Amino acid sequence: MYISKNATIGKNVKFGHNVIIEDNVFIGDNVVIGHNVVIREGSVIGKNCIISDNTVLGKEPFKALTSATTEKRELEPLKIGNYVTIGANCVIYKGAVLSDYVFVGDLASIREDVVIGEKTIIGRGVTVENKTNIGKYVKIETEAYITAISTIEDYCFIAPEVTFTNDNYLGRTEERKKYFGGPVVKKGARIGANATILPGIIIEEDALVAAGAVVTKNVPAKKIVAGVPARVLKDVPEEQLLINQIYYEKR
């Protein structure tokens, strides 16, 4: 185990075997750190967090020569709030911010310039690419892919294997770089399993995208869309609207 003499470690922190903690790391009280965890320089971890085995926190991003969305620049340290749980074999990059009570499942990857709101769940094997904002009380389920430059607002539900996209030109022409942008999913919207959302699509509040749909046009609020390409099917039932759910904080 290696803990830098310049790291700040709170009370009652528990360490597994082969842990590495670099310079200027801050770890709050009552944190549990599993085996083979690496916490990179400057990372901040709040109190009462759980970090499972083989996870890397605060990783510096690499830039591929042909990458159009990764910038080589100095990033803020990784910031993890209080009562956050991070599963095994996760990689969370420098420049990300995870708010209080976020849960991250095993094998997840969260890139730089990602902000995740409180009590959001990032499921097993989920990838969240860079420059993405995710609100509070969001649930993103197993193996979903959230592309770079996407927005997911509060109380949204993203089912397993959903795919977001951000490049209408599929990697061809320099013109494409002017138009990069992932989907925008507004408050309370839901997306079913294996749906594909095209670049720049706006899914309005309380809308529902059916499983397997390919969304090529904006989705109106409180409507259900289905099919390939997705078309409006009917209204979302009144009892399913966000405002009628007992867990919704009406503010």
Q: What is the pLDDT of residue 171?
A: 85
Q: Is 137 left (phi over 0), alpha (psi -120 to 50) or beta?
A: left
What are residue 184's DSSP bridge partners?
A: 151, 202
User: How much is the pLDDT for 179?
Assistant: 84
- On the question of pLDDT at 80 being above 90, the answer is yes
Alpha carbon of residue 169 to chain centroid: 25
pTM beyond 0.75: the answer is: yes
Strands 44-45 and 56-59: unpaired
pLDDT on residue 231 = 98
pLDDT digits (tens, 9 = 90+) for 37-62: 999 999 999 999 999 999 999 999 98
Residue 207 DSSP one-character state: -
Share of the chain above pLDDT 90, in %: 88
CA dihedral 85, 90, 94, 99 (to 10 degrees): -20
Entry field: residues in the chain: 251
67, pLDDT greater than 90: no
The total of other beta-carbon atoms located within 10 Å of residue 73's CB is 9
pLDDT-derived band at 111, boundaries 50, 70, 90: very high
